[in-house]
Amino acid sequence: MSAPASDTTPEARATARLARKKAVVDGKIAAASIERGVLLVNTGTGKGKSSAAFGVLARALGHGQHCAVVQFVKARSDTGESAFFQRQPEMAGHWHVMGEGFTWETQDPARDAAAARAAWQQACTYLTDGGTDLLILDEFTYALKYGWLTLDEVLPALQARPATQHVIITGRAAPEALLAVADTATDMHLLKHAFQAGIKAMPGLEY
């Protein structure tokens, strides 16, 4: 017996497809019942790794969560995100600019390593604090890339953090071992960048 003509129209087929998709999505949502802290890694050569993390920071603050940021490479404190978030009462004393700048600027590996270790010690105070809901380790992957910190000390600390604490790590060249323990990992791939065309970094967009 053939189907009624009304069921074979494009509109009817589209409605049926949407109904099937909704059933699949609803099933996945129902199956996701675990509530715990999540480790996110934003890596890759593209722009937006830190910006994405700070977007989540705004979201978490909007929910009244307790948050902290430790920046491992940035040395400047005049960035727009630093100015904005440090004006928020909830972030007072919890935004730490602890880098010495990029290695080609500092030309001092020993100083860079010392700064990274100091930043890691600061990070560890939050990784053991059950009252911190979200911790952002900005440009943290460089500390691993240049050997300032080791995976042997970092991974256990990340995995032993409070059960409900979220951590976001940003930076290029995230090592495979870090990606393996991450719950969510995003590779931001560069397609093109204004800097390649000679356009300087603009306030409000790049910093």
Cα angle 128-132-134, degrees, rounded to a multiple of 5: 115
Q: Residues 29-36: contacts with CB within 8 Å, 24+ apart?
A: 35/164, 36/163, 36/164
First to last CA, the chain: 66
Is 20 within the bounds of a domain? no
CATH number of 144's domain: 3.40.50.300
- Count of structural domains within the chain: 1
Is 153 within the bounds of a domain? yes
The residue range of the domain holding 171 is: 34-190
Is 88 within the bounds of a domain? yes
Contact yes or no for 182/42 (Cβ under 8 A): no
What parts of the chain have a pLDDT lower than 50? 1-3, 5, 104
Is 112 within the bounds of a domain? yes
State pTM to two decimals. 0.84
Return the pLDDT at 107.
58
Return the pLDDT at 1.
46
Is 38 within the bounds of a domain? yes
Is 205 within the bounds of a domain? no
Is 3 within the bounds of a domain? no
Q: Return d(Cα 163, Cα 35) in angstroms, integer.
A: 9
Return the pLDDT at 173.
97
Return the pLDDT at 105.
54
Is 90 within the bounds of a domain? yes
Closest C-alpha to 206, from 80, 55, 77, 69: 80
Instruction: Report DSSP state, residue 184.
Output: E
